[in-house]
Amino acid sequence: MSPSERLAARETDALSIRSVGMSFGSLSVLDGVSFGVAPGETLGLVGPNGAGKTTLLDIVAGARRCDGGQVLLSGRDVTRLAADRRCRLGLARTFQVPRPFGDLTVFENALVGAVRGAGLRGRAAYDDVRGALVLTDLLAVANAPASSLRLLDRKRLELARALAMRPRVLLLDEIAGGLTDPETAALVGTVRRVRDGGTAIVWVEHVLRALTQVATRLVCLSAGRVLAEGAPGEVLADLGVRAAYFGRSVL
């Protein structure tokens, strides 16, 4: 891709991260991180423990302020907007450890996303939640208390709560961990359906066999910098990535 093509691509991106930097005191955690994600694209964000992946998701979601750089949603600079304003502009995220309200039903948990996240009311909220439960295969357990769900369905509920916010950009933080192979395959199918609906997805994931079934592009962070970016096969074959991510023994 030529520089002018790259620029044109960035202008249509649902999410653009430009030169983002962040430090915790004297510890530089992110340094000049830039990439974009187009509508309907799934970008996988990989890298060793401590590379800065979750910190970057926090910055994009508005849970943390960056020290430098910009975050744009569909071309709009949201760097200084609070997290709830970003939700209303179409940004949603899932958390690594799903913590649903156990006493509420599956439907009521997803309703929290539609009402608190997207600001929907009445019929619009109901329709959105129903759609999110259909997409995540949870409709059959809509009236069950969230505390009764198995792990796969807790993860699906985390996804449904985020989808009920009508996101144009969805941030997924390690949703595939701890699942059996058939459960992982089911979750991959769900994420694919979300992507096929046109949502731009940034998926932080250590379970590469799940990620590479959906992501068409990977960004590898190492020590807060972009070490490699490109097609999954190319990035995972990159010697620098293999050394940083998997350890030198695999070289």
Ligand X SMILES: Nc1ncnc2c1ncn2[C@@H]1O[C@H](COP(=O)(O)OP(=O)(O)OP(=O)(O)O)[C@@H](O)[C@H]1O
How many residues touch ligand X (CB under 6 A)? 11
Structural tokens at position 239: 């010697």
| Sole binder of ligand X in the list 54, 136, 212, 222 (CB under 6 A) | 54
DSSP string, 166-180: --SEEEEES-STT--
Torsion sign (Cα): 93, 99, 101, 105:
positive
Query: x/- contact string, 126-155, with ligand X (CB under 6 A)?
Result: ------------------------------
Are residues 224 and 52 in contact, defined by beta-carbon separation less than 8 angstroms?
yes
Stretch that binds ligand X, among 13-21, 44-52, 117-125, 132-140 (CB under 6 A): 44-52
State the nearest-atom distance from the C-beta of 93 to ligand X, in Å: 13
The smaller minimum CB distance to ligand X, of residues 53 and 161, is found at 53
240 vs 37, 52, 115, 217, 224, CA distance in Å?
23, 17, 45, 17, 14
Pick from 36, 44, 52, 90 the residue near ligand X by CB under 6 A: 52
The secondary structure of 215-238, three-state, reads: CCEEEEEECCEEEEEECHHHHHHC
Q: Is 24 in the site for ligand X (CB under 6 A)?
A: yes
Of 25 and 122, nearer to ligand X (C-beta) is 25
Which residue is listed with tokens 């109901």?
126
| Binding status of residue 53 toward ligand X by CB under 6 A | yes
CB 190 within 8 A of CB 135: yes
With binding defined as CB under 6 A, does residue 51 bind ligand X?
Answer: yes
Residues that bind ligand X (CB under 6 A): 24, 27, 29, 47, 49-55
